[in-house]
Amino acid sequence: MIYGESAAQNDRILDLNHITCNNCENQKVLQLHCYTKHIHVMFIPFVTAGKKAIIICSNCGKEYDVSNQSDTIKELVKIEKEHIRIPIWHFSGLAIVALIALSSITYNMWDNEQDAQLVKNPQAGDLYEYKDGAGWYSTFKISQVDKDSVYVFYNMQSINQASAIDEIDKPDSYWPFEESMSREELEQMYEDGEIYEIDRD
């Protein structure tokens, strides 16, 4: 991942005519620079690095840390910093992450809502993903439905990762005979969280 601090922005410069540069011993050459910086990740401004200040000699280029300066300078830094604003786009990356998180939460809520409807109204062809007590994931397919029961083809295979479930959902991995289950039992499995996903084409 490529990340780092950006170059200075919003540079606000104030001449410090009353102090001398210790390096080149010139007067009227020191300038107080106040600016903002941001952290970028993959070239996207991610979050602000805040307001910064430094004293730079315009003659010899020597840089001075403001934290070692007099209270007067420190007060000036404070006032100058109040005059610069952290641009909202410094937070672009953070906003993108928040949007992705929000849309995934919204999608999950919608998906759960759909599944809750599907389990109450099973149809032939519905694919159920479930987890057994030992932490294995597998599937079954509904073949028929009547008033009280569903008839399903169980998958012969199971896998230890929910995200890899597609690998075992192959036509020839299902038992060639049906088993029945009451609709009540099916709904209970969903209520208990054993069934965690239902897909209908």
Residue 10 or 20 with smaller CB distance to Zn ion: 20
Q: Which amino acid is residue 159, in one-letter code?
A: I
Assign 3-class secondary structure to 146-195: CCCEEEEEEECCCECCHHHHHHHCCHHHECCCCEEEEHHHHHHHHHCCCE
Q: How far is the CB of 56 from Zn ion (least distance, A)?
A: 9
Binding-site member from 20, 23, 143, 188 for Zn ion (CB under 5 A): 23
The interface with Zn ion within residues 42-101 (CB under 5 A) comprises 57, 59-60, 62
Q: How far is the CB of 57 from Zn ion (least distance, A)?
A: 3
Residue 61 or 135 with smaller CB distance to Zn ion: 61
Measured distance between the N- and C-terminal CA atoms of the chain, rounded to whole angstroms: 38
Q: Give the CA angle between residues 50, 52, 55 to the nearest 5°.
A: 175
By CB under 5 A, tell whether 24 contacts Zn ion. yes
By CB under 5 A, tell whether 16 contacts Zn ion. no
Interface residue list for Zn ion (CB under 5 A):
21, 23-24, 57, 59-60, 62
